[in-house]
Structure 1
């Protein structure tokens, strides 16, 4: 939508004739949808003159443009998040209408962002969790067409990757064939040294782009639901300063990985090694995830964020 207003203080001074010409040109162009050639005929001037009138109107403040879109606030928040946390990119989706599944909207936004960054024959490294699986379901049809392959950053991914149609004889997915967490540090170390597991872990670090979820320390956390941690353990980790986890590694409010015994049971790329991947996309939203996302961003454990508008506002308020 366009508006024609009086020139702002400090704007270029326009004479009465120019103001009238700019006003007519702006009305015809923005409100009536006429082309610059049609306006030129109506005003008896050249098309270049019309273009200059419109530009002068914008520069002087006589013409103001306003985008009436539910995405307007989201796009502004994206820029604020990028500036506040030094991100490479961000996507913020508008708040979900009542009755709409927020996870699906985040998944669609993450899938859209990833497809903008991926090119044919690329390798996408993937973490573990609901956000990743939701995103992959939206992306599944694209992988065979673009010959894009997946490689897992953690064990346990096969628990949900089968629902996406990407794991099978087609060979689009290279997964660590272990659980995320195993019974002892000794077993975890043995598995990490197994040739196939080692090759997948090494391959993951050659990816240019990774997609991870952000785990919370709520009793309903995905790690608890899948049986990798108990609610009692989560409470203990919280008392030791944990605010969230990535790839099964828990970190504090500053994004520092905690010294916890559970980490020695995890079969996954370490957060430190993951820094070798140039672009790490984290997708998460909701009030229960705010502290976890804040810690993640403070520790620079990811450099691209996909979230929703209420979560983005909460993050910016807590800087």
Structure 2
């Protein structure tokens, strides 16, 4: 099935579910309950029945009956370490996730976001990561499944740093298309080790049984350091490999929060605020219209490298990031945006009805703060 043709797929599934809900409404409720069990089990596996029952606020007796059914269907395996999903169970969980999105109205949010932001595909997970940090796992799960759909033998996959992209790597299903190279999208020394692009690239490569490249350079460089490092033969060779990426998975940051995390001086942060910076990605800072208002010196992928890629996957959530997500989406124009309900509803509330929707990337003067 074409992973990009979400509009036609969703409409066909919605028609079928409408008929099913009218004819056998109990089936829908049962399906929702079993989806919740599979989803929670996937996040916690291997997990014991008592622990899972407590997390799901149900009794062991009720859960035992459901797990026995799922086991008989070949969806769940049970051993001394606990319960876990089988490959068939994981595959079914993927399909059920799309069904749940249609049943609870998230498919309508996805359609509106595609229109408003001018994107090819959008997936919205339930909840708001600002209110429930566990939603970040759902963002990672959904983005990882889409990455699996578009991955081909011989691909070079680039990843940025950050907690949300780390969740993508952690929830990537084991697939082995062969001859894959995973690379960090840019330097990231200075971030917490577990959220650096290098670490995430290594984690994702392990899940894919792929090769990976490490790129040990600082995230932010002075102009002199940038020119010096870029001229180093080993750095130049790695940059060449990184720029061969056919797929990139990237996060989205709030401009001022990212500037502070990167320890920009107060006077530079003040300039960003004056220029209306709201979103950040790949070392570029964007205003609410997707115009670049500041570009820092960083080694790695730039917007020019991204434009020719086969798949650009952006993943970010939380109502507080709505402005940043919309700004970066307009500038970068990812092929797939994975976000949550909190961000989706806030974006639509802010941007619905604006006259310049869906224009994609905008050109503007790039300001560099030295």
- Return 5+ residue gaps in structure 1 as ranges: 1-25, 34-66
Counterpart position of 2:15: none
Partner residue of 1:315 out of 340, 344, 347: 347
Task: Spell out the pairing of 1:276-287 with structure 2 (5 A cutoff).
Answer: 276-287=308-319
Task: Spell out the pairing of 1:85-104 with structure 2 (5 A cutoff).
Answer: 85-96=117-128, 99=132, 101-104=134-137
Counterpart position of 2:366: none
Q: If the length of structure 1 is used for normalisation, what is the TM-score?
A: 0.67
Q: If the length of structure 2 is used for normalisation, what is the TM-score?
A: 0.59
Partner residue of 2:320 out of 288, 291, 294: 288
Please tell me whether the aligned partners of residues 184 and 242 of structure 2 are also in contact (alpha carbons under 8 angstroms): yes
Aligned length: 251
Q: Return structure 1 stretches of 4+ with deviation > 3 angstroms.
A: 29-33, 67-71, 96-100, 143-147, 157-168, 227-236
Task: Spell out the pairing of 1:10-49 with structure 2 (5 A cutoff).
Answer: 30-31=23-24
Task: Spell out the pairing of 1:142-153 with structure 2 (5 A cutoff).
Answer: 142=174, 146-153=178-185
Please tell me whether the aligned partners of residues 154 and 268 of structure 1 are also in contact (alpha carbons under 8 angstroms): yes
Partner residue of 2:288 out of 250, 253, 258: 253
Task: Spell out the pairing of 1:1-319 with structure 2 (5 A cutoff).
Answer: 30-31=23-24, 69=100, 71-72=102-103, 73-96=105-128, 99=132, 101-139=134-172, 142=174, 146-156=178-188, 159=193, 160=196, 161-162=198-199, 165=203, 172-182=211-221, 184-219=222-257, 221=258, 224-225=260-261, 227-229=262-264, 233-259=268-294, 263=296, 265-319=297-351
- Given the superposition, is the C-alpha separation of residues 130 and 241 from structure 1 closer, same or farther in structure 2, using an over 3 Å criterion? same
Please tell me whether the aligned partners of residues 127 and 152 of structure 1 are also in contact (alpha carbons under 8 angstroms): yes
Q: CA deviation at 1:291?
A: 0.9
Query: How far apart, in 2, do the equivalents of 1:314 and 1:146 lie?
Result: 40
Q: Deviations over 1:116-164 (max 9, x none)?
A: 111233221112322222211222x636674432122210179334366
Please tell me whether the aligned partners of residues 71 and 93 of structure 1 are also in contact (alpha carbons under 8 angstroms): no
Q: CA deviation at 1:241?
A: 1.9
- Given the superposition, is the C-alpha separation of residues 151 and 100 from structure 1 closer, same or farther in structure 2, using an over 3 Å criterion? closer
SS of residue paired to 2:255: coil
Query: How far apart, in 1, do the equivalents of 2:25 and 2:132 lie?
Result: 38
Q: Deviations over 1:249-281 (max 9, x none)?
A: 211112122245xx1x32222223321223211
Please tell me whether the aligned partners of residues 205 and 277 of structure 1 are also in contact (alpha carbons under 8 angstroms): no
